[in-house]
Amino acid sequence: AQVIVALGAPIIAPRNVHSKVGEAFTGSLTLTDAADRPATEWAASNLPAGLTIGTATGEISGTPTNRVDTVAVIVATGPGGTGVPLSVPFSVTAGTPIIAADQFFAATQGQGFSTTPALTDAANRPATSWSVTGLPTWAVIDGTTGAISGTPTSTSPVSLTLTATGAGGTSEPQTYIITVSASGG
């Protein structure tokens, strides 16, 4: 008598996934016994926004768009049937801060000036500290909030280069001009 052993349902190996907002991510799930329990189709639910699963490969890829700690459910199906769904913890942490471009800073000579540079997607790319080069003697920066304040003493324009740092890293430097107009007299 001939004994035929059929292929079994796929078993996905446990895995935790870590990524950052705004950074491309690629990661493959593996099977514990791919030779005897192959997968031909993959499915996922509750993946973080911006990530997808390759239905033929089980590769998870994309660029996460927001911070989240979640558990995705992954299922693999093969010739031996559908495997037991696996809960896969996903942690998407803060991305590198991005200082918003095209900000306009205007001041008037002899009058108090205050501005706080904006971040793009501050909720998912927060800054915890700021640094600046080119700050005039009449101004100060709050290194925690990025707020720049002071009273301009001349009408000379000021060129500032700002950098923001957060849990996700340090931003690209962004240069701005503070234009200073003469007081109305």
pLDDT tens sequence across 128-162: 999 999 999 999 999 999 999 999 999 999 999 99
**What pLDDT is recorded for position 102?**
86
**DSSP-derived pairing of the beta strands 86-93 and 17-20:** parallel
Buried b / exposed e over 87-109, threshold 16 CB at 10 Å, is ebebebbbbbbbbeeeeebebbb
Q: Taking Cα atoms as reference points, which of 150, 146, 119, 127 lies closest to residue 137?
A: 150
**What pLDDT is recorded for position 70?**
96
Q: Taking Cα atoms as reference points, which of 91, 78, 90 lies closest to residue 31?
A: 78
Chain-centroid distance, C-alpha 30: 26
Rounded-to-integer distance, Cα 139 and Cα 84, Å: 62
Whole-model pTM?
Answer: 0.82
- Helix or strand run (H / E) with residue 89: strand 86-93
Contacts of 102 (CB under 8 A, 6+ apart): none
Q: pLDDT category, 7, cuts 50, 70, 90?
A: confident
Q: Taking Cα atoms as reference points, which of 70, 100, 81 lies closest to residue 36?
A: 81
Whether residue 11 is predicted with pLDDT greater than 60 in this model: the reply is: yes
Stretch 40-63: mean pLDDT, rounded?
A: 96
Stretch 25-35: mean pLDDT, rounded?
A: 92
How crowded is residue 51: how many other Cβ atoms within 10 Å of its Cβ? 21
Rounded-to-integer distance, Cα 128 and Cα 123, Å: 12
